[in-house]
Homo-oligomer: A and B are copies of this chain.
Amino acid sequence: MAVRLGELAVRFGLELNGDPDTTVDRVGSLVGAGPGCLSFLANPKYRRQLEATAASAVVLDAGSAADCRVACLVSRNPYADYARIATVLHPAPAAAPGVHASAVVDPGARVAASAGIAATAVIAAGASIGERAFIGPGCVVGSGAVVGDDSRLVARVTVYPKVRIGRRCIVHAGAVLGADGFGFAPDGGEWVRVPQVGSVIIGDDVDIGANATIDRGAIDDTVIEDGVRIDNLVMIAHNVRVGAHTVIAALSGVSGSTRIGHHCMIAGNVGFAGHIEVGDRIVITGQTSVTRSLQGPGMYSSTMPAMDAPRWRRLVARLRHLDALFDRVGRLEGDGDGRGTAGDQHP
């Protein structure tokens, strides 16, 4: 969609340097952009790319405007304003309202007239699909589940019975919301399944990545608060609570009953023990093991950076003797004291 720069400046409250009648119709990187492209500069280290860009316009901050030789939109938060303009240029495809002939919608389901139900989707009795919501091809929505207004289940999403999804959420393909929590009672060498009768409650404006899984609670619910962004292949176990506007990157797992605060940033492949409390505004680096409760705000890590393998192997071999090394140093210190004392006694 082609839009005049003047219109974008007014709509998003940005200062425009350049011809308001110039139009942009798509986004591009500073390096790859051509005429008609809108680009952005958010990180000063790319300023040299700015000087050479062939974009028709660039979103940038006031400090960079002088270096821009094409039109620019001056923003206090160029990346966020770029994102908003990009959403105008590349709108999500509007789902056609109505139910596809191949979808299977139980007569006992409530589907808003403005909602779109795609081919082969299956919606059970008692489910409720909100206004302008989209249930993509191959999705399964269980009995009593709720999908809020304007939410999109892209494709092949499974929503178990009674799960509640808020408004304006995006759930990517293959995600599974509300499978049974992993709860078993040991009894005579076997594991008795513990019925998982809680549900999953997802707030508004939540994103859930492809093939992520969020289990239903054992008794009470698993809760994902507003604005949370969950990446692909993340595991959220039963009775976890994730605070508002927290982001969790791919392949991270949160064990049962753990609570994560709001505005946290969890990198990829992080593991959380169960039954712990992680405070607000906490940052965790990739592949860290969070084994105990953490107070926020703060940054925590146990990321072990890769080394040249022979060197790493030597390090691991040394670590096996670290205990002994402490003892050796202790003895040396003792010896030193001994010798020192002895030295004092020297004539």
Query: Chain A: residues with CB nearer than 8 A to chain B?
Result: 26-29, 32, 42, 77, 79-80, 82-84, 86-87, 89-90, 93, 100, 102, 104, 118-120, 122, 136-138, 140, 142-143, 154-156, 158, 160-161, 170, 172-174, 176, 179-180, 182-187, 189-195, 197, 205, 207, 209-211, 213, 215, 219-220, 227, 229, 231-233, 235, 237, 245, 247, 249-251, 253, 255, 263, 268-269, 271, 273, 283-292, 294, 298-316, 318-323, 325-326, 328-329, 332-333, 335-336, 339-340, 342-343, 346
Determine the chain B residues whose CB is within 8 A of the CB of A318 once the complex forms.
322-323, 326
Closest Cβ–Cβ distance, residue A223 to chain B (whole Å): 14
Determine the chain B residues whose CB is within 8 A of the CB of A326 once the complex forms.
318, 321, 325
CA distance A179 to B42 in the complex (A): 24
Determine the chain B residues whose CB is within 8 A of the CB of A170 once the complex forms.
180, 193
Determine the chain B residues whose CB is within 8 A of the CB of A298 once the complex forms.
308-309
Q: Within the complex, which residue of B156, B291, B303, B332 is in contact with A303, where a contact is CB–CB below 8 Å? A: B291
Q: Within the complex, which residue of B26, B176, B249, B312 is in contact with A210, where a contact is CB–CB below 8 Å? A: B176
19 contacts between A and B (CB under 8 A): A28-B219, A42-B185, A79-B194, A80-B192, A158-B174, A170-B193, A174-B213, A189-B263, A213-B233, A231-B235, A284-B306, A289-B305, A290-B305, A294-B306, A318-B322, A318-B323, A318-B326, A321-B326, A325-B329
CA distance A320 to B305 in the complex (A): 10
* B195-A90 in contact (CB<8A): yes
Q: Within the complex, which residue of B118, B192, B268, B303 is in contact with A83, where a contact is CB–CB below 8 Å? A: B192
Copies in the complex: 3
* A120-B122 in contact (CB<8A): yes
CA distance A339 to B156 in the complex (A): 74
Determine the chain B residues whose CB is within 8 A of the CB of A273 once the complex forms.
286
Determine the chain B residues whose CB is within 8 A of the CB of A156 once the complex forms.
138, 140, 156, 158, 176
Determine the chain B residues whose CB is within 8 A of the CB of A187 once the complex forms.
77, 80
Query: Which of A118, A161, A192, A328 is the most central at the interface, judged by chain B CB atoms within 10 Å of its CB?
Result: A192
* A211-B174 in contact (CB<8A): yes
CA distance A186 to B229 in the complex (A): 12
Given contacts A187-B77, A189-B245, contact A140 B122 (CB under 8 A): no
* A86-B194 in contact (CB<8A): yes
Closest Cβ–Cβ distance, residue A168 to chain B (whole Å): 10
Closest Cβ–Cβ distance, residue A310 to chain B (whole Å): 8
Q: Top 6 closest A-B pairs, CB basis? A: A80-B187, A158-B173, A299-B309, A176-B210, A80-B185, A179-B210
Determine the chain B residues whose CB is within 8 A of the CB of A118 once the complex forms.
122
CA distance A156 to B138 in the complex (A): 8
CA distance A286 to B322 in the complex (A): 22
Determine the chain B residues whose CB is within 8 A of the CB of A190 once the complex forms.
205, 227, 245
* A342-B343 in contact (CB<8A): yes
